[in-house]
Structure 1
Amino acid sequence: MMYIQVSRAVWPPMFELRMLTAVSALESRRAEIFPPPAVMPWLQRYLSSMLAAENLDPIPRHIARLMSNLTNLVTQLQAGPVLYKKRHTLALLFDVFAVQSEMSLADPDELVLGYTQLMMGFLLFNAAPRSIGMIGLGGGSLAKFCYRHLSDALIEVAEICPQVIAVRGEFMIPPDGPRFKVHCQDGADFVARNKSRFDVLLNDGFDKAGQPPQLSSRRFYDDCYASLAPQGMMVTNVLGGEKNTDAQVDAMRDAFKGEVYVIDAYDSLNQIAFACKGDLLKVDLRTMMERTRFIPCLHSATLRLIAHGIAYARDGVVTECSM
């Protein structure tokens, strides 16, 4: 799940003036239900971002439509996850602040969200895993990418929410078969029942409130460690800046004997933790950079970013290493 940070871009003065004039006109006519004054700065940034994204002028008609869409979205989200179609993508939302998953309509197997690209950084350490476990299906971005590009891997996914599984067809997630299976199961139970099984475990389990407690405890990470084959790797999406994030990462480090390194996502508030059972992460930067040449399914710039991020998290300093 990627938590949205509404753009704080500095808009051209005339755009801002027209925006404020249009909002004031709607408020004076009571054409839309506006939130309390404390929320208005966020709402105006949200509306400005949406107008810019859709290349719309800041006039009352367009703002009223966006406000109506937002109101309908909030109402629908009270009943559960919602599909949200934009011009080029289809998203799965848990609330208005969080994109659980996003799919390109032109290329359904593409990794749209930056943090999912970073999670695939495990390919720098194991380019051909035979068994992949996943916690959290969402819109299936990671599952579809692995299914398409890692044809020798057996993939099993634990998703606790039946409503999420029910819309898998909308996101073109493959049906269950010999290579791929989705379990309606709590991720904590999933790892507890699979010992020494996975070469790679991708942990992206969130609900509306964030990461559930059972997916961030020391016991959970002990079970994740036990679920990995020798030289296995766990990659976990965590929320940077949250009050319990440091404790969560400490629990990982305790379970994985210190072999945990965290890098920041470049397009959201997320952080990605790489943890290994063994010494997979002890690879030097030059070797990681060399390996970026042989992973065609991810952009080399993304792989270099991951390599430098892990090297810095591990060593505290990164010397220049161009390959």
Structure 2
Amino acid sequence: MLLDNLSDLANFSADGRPFIYKNTYSISLLFDSSAVQSEMYMSEPDELLLGYTITMMGFLLFNDAPKRIAMIGLGGGSLVKYCYRHLPQSAIVVAENNPEVIALRKHFQIPQDDHRLQIVCMDGCQLVRDAENDHDVLLVDGFDRNGQPPQLCSQAFYDDCYQSLAQDGMLVVNLLGNNSDTDLYLDRIQRSFGGAAIAVDARESGNRIVFACKGKRLDTAEQSLLKKLKDLSPHHALMLRLTAQNIVQQRRNDKLATAFP
């Protein structure tokens, strides 16, 4: 369903099906009128608007040239479009279990499938169960009308995420910061990844973004991490400056918490 005025949006009572709201400058994907799932500027369809999507791209601070990126949750395609345009060396597969979300891809100018991009209608749990040491980066951003599906927050799921990653592969998870179970989910990720995980506040939102690594990438020294930021393309570097600072600060906080429990 396409809505194009505020009165329609305010009066719309969603039944769990995705719908889009369009104004002069942007188009948004929603499951109800309380929260925007994705947003796109009409004039810049491949750029990231929502703060949590920018923070999730922080994996570039640890791996700026992944060969294989997997995503769980398509939404309006903000992350897939950004990666498709700005990481031309990357092959991308996206698992989205709602065919009605996939059906809206043209509205958000998501590219058609080709040799680099595959968008498949399947459960994200199956994607990671079927993979073995395949993915350099795995982005988990799966939500429905009720929030985060339980199957995408279980210990078994995070264990499968670990197994699906290549050596030194990275998992990036978008968690709701105001969810009472967020700390539980973070603890599960820590357990699956042997403690190699860090959670930072997302830009301009209440979400928390978890970075976890199958390997030693998260152990990158602070100065090396900041140098990596400077070495990124100007487009990436400007976007990720705050994320880099937040990661450095959170690592310091975690070290203090360990030293003084």
TM-score, scaled relative to structure 1: 0.75
Identity rate, percent: 47
The unaligned stretches of length 5 or more in structure 2 are 256-261
Structure having the larger proportion of residues in strand = 2
1:125-204 aligned within 5 A: 125-204=62-141
Contact 1:149 1:297 in 2 (8 A): no
Match status 1:105 vs 2:42: yes
Contact 1:117 1:298 in 2 (8 A): no
| Stretches (4+) displaced over 6 A | none
Q: Counterpart of 1:267?
A: 204
1:159-308 aligned within 5 A: 159-296=96-233, 298-308=235-245
- Cα displacement (A) at 1:301: 4.4
Contact 1:133 1:200 in 2 (8 A): yes
Distance 1:299 1:231 in 2: 21
> Deviation per CA, 1:40-62, whole angstroms, max 9, x where unpaired?
xxxxxxxxxxxxxxxxxxxxxxx
Distance 2:84 2:59 in 1: 15
Question: Relative to structure 1, is the Cα distance of residues 104 and 259 closer, same or farther in structure 2, using a 3 angstrom cutoff?
Answer: same
- TM-align CA RMSD: 1.6
Aligned positions, number: 251
Higher Rg of the two aligned structures: 1
- The one-letter amino acid paired with 1:247 is L
Distance 1:66 1:133 in 2: 35
Contact 2:9 2:21 in 1 (8 A): no
Contact 2:16 2:31 in 1 (8 A): no
Distance 2:16 2:56 in 1: 30
Question: Relative to structure 1, is the Cα distance of residues 96 and 90 closer, same or farther in structure 2, using a 3 angstrom cutoff?
Answer: same
The unaligned stretches of length 5 or more in structure 1 are 1-64, 319-323
